[in-house]
Structure 1
């Protein structure tokens, strides 16, 4: 009796009964199909990410090996579009997989209409911000407002200060900016009310030069014109400038100083680097011309003698 009972409930027989029972048949049919679908979806999502990263890497290598100092607008746009396409493709992939799993499980779609309507209404109220972010991101990318590598400044709802930095990633939902200090801002696209692109097509370096009111402005203008003409031959500036810097003239007048402004068109995003180098050339040229002397802290190009200035102040 014990031997027959042992044989009746032996592990091989129990294993056979399990796989031929309802649970085992479900695992071998529907369960296996669901598992294969999920594995295929994960592999497909990895392939999409790999393809997007390959496209991004190719664009990056093309920029680094090329002679251009800045990325073209087309390259920036392609990189943003590649990121968005990969994200949308993954979302659609998992939606299709979820629908296939629903069909395998024989879930009656008709019975889900009423709960889905209630759930959709609830999610609709809660997902308004998400939809706003997605729509804003769609228009940012299609209108080419900015792309990867652009130097931008964005104003956001509820934020007292604007966020400024280099665009590291643009998706339908967020924009990531890296500041000059290395910090990363993640800005929801729906929060952006104004964007300022400082590296689109071309930029402008603006240099303000304070000159004392006693200086000979004609002589100063001559020196600055010479600086503008020589700037295109400077080894650090010639590749950054799109044309010769020009002197705009007197920008403002103060009690002690007159501010002259010099501007120059530069490659996109290179206006700050060009402005710093241009200031060095201006200071060097003014020093050689005697505008700045070692004994005085303010420029004095052919200014009035010290005694004359003293008498004028005492007389005034």
Structure 2
């Protein structure tokens, strides 16, 4: 009796299993369901392959930069890295659209019946996605015009922000630009919000050094000292790889009560103007100290600091 009952139950489960896979639901799973599953798996694998390819290209560019002798990235390298990021993003979006269309074909959903709902949905999304479209268009022109790229030092002025954001570009996509500040913070800026971009590391940069000199100092002697600093800077071990040409003395920039400001400028590699400026200031301070030129201090009467010959000449003219 027990064996007969077990046999009947086993036959019932086998029959149900057979009927399920030969029924409507089972046939749909074996045909359309399996196709949809394969499409989703293929899309996931393709997306991972695209991401892997993009990361490999980026890693190769990074290794080429670190292994080379250049102190800064070339403009072509920055542009290639930005383009690789954008191409991978666009490829994934196109893959998603293609898979979605294929799934609708497998499900036998008539495209014509979706026109009206799609138009209404597109209009609703269009009103809410105007900002996204603006970001994508702005990002497209930023990349195609090579306004800046990965590794550039930039200042971005945005709509509604009183101050610009300064930092090093870590990522450029069609929608956003990511900046890392000197404090290690990361700004994520939508490209559509950018109204002005200042690239401080494109092709070359300029280090500007203002040098305050006492009004009582001999400017001719100071100019000679600064010229010597400019001539020797090309042989300095810290400056020779940063400078593109010899620093130039521009002359008197401004005149104050106690000081006369002289300006020295130097063309440097892109993004290295601050490092070169700091080293150049150190050389200038050391050279002026050795020459006996010290910045004036205090707010005492300037007559007391004039040379004795000039003071005596003035008193003689007043006595006459």
Aligned CA RMSD, in angstroms, stands at: 2.4
Residues in 1 aligned to 2:248 and 2:283: alpha-carbon distance in whole angstroms: 14
CA distance in 2, matches of 1:136, 1:144: 12
Using the alignment, how far apart are the partners of 1:59 and 1:148 within structure 2?
Answer: 11
1:110-151: CA deviation from partner (whole Å, max 9, x where unpaired):
111111110111111111000000000000000000000000
Distance 1:12 1:236, change over 3 A: same
Task: Quote the offset at 1:225 in angstroms.
Answer: 0.6
Structure 2 partner of 1:171: 173
TM-score (normalised: structure 1): 0.92
CA positional deviation for 1:12: 1.7
1:204 counterpart SS class: strand
Residue in structure 2 matched with residue 232 of structure 1 by the alignment:
234
Aligned equivalent of 2:244, options 234, 242, 245: 242
Q: Structure 2 stretches of 5 or more lacking a match? A: 299-304
The 8 Å contact of residues 213 and 294 in structure 2, kept in 1 or not, is answered as no
Q: 1:107 to 1:306 in 2, by over 3 A?
A: farther
* Equivalent in the alignment of 1:154: 156
User: 5+ unaligned residues in a row in structure 1: which ranges?
Assistant: none
TM-score, structure 2 as length reference: 0.91
Please list the CA deviations of residues 229-249 of structure 1 after superposition, one character each: whole Å capped at 9, or x if unmatched. Answer: 000000000000000000001
**Corresponding residue of 1:12:** 14
Task: Note the alpha carbon deviations across 1:152-207, whole angstroms, 9 max, x for none.
Answer: 00000011110010000000000000000000000000000000000000000000
Write out aligned runs for 1:1-316 (5 A): 3=5, 6-7=8-9, 10-292=12-294, 297=297, 304-305=306-307
> Which whole-Å CA distance do the structure 1 matches of 2:239 and 2:308 have between them?
39
Q: 2 CA distance for matches of 1:102 and 1:80?
A: 34
Q: State the SS of the aligned residue for 1:233.
A: coil
| Cα distance between partner residues in 2 of 1:226 and 1:155 | 40
How far off its partner does 1:214 sit?
A: 1.4
Aligned residues: 308
Question: Counterparts of 1:72 and 1:239 in 2: how far apart (Å)?
Answer: 16
Describe the shift of the 1:112–1:216 C-alpha distance in structure 2 as closer, same or farther (beyond 3 A): same
SS in structure 2 at match of 1:10: helix
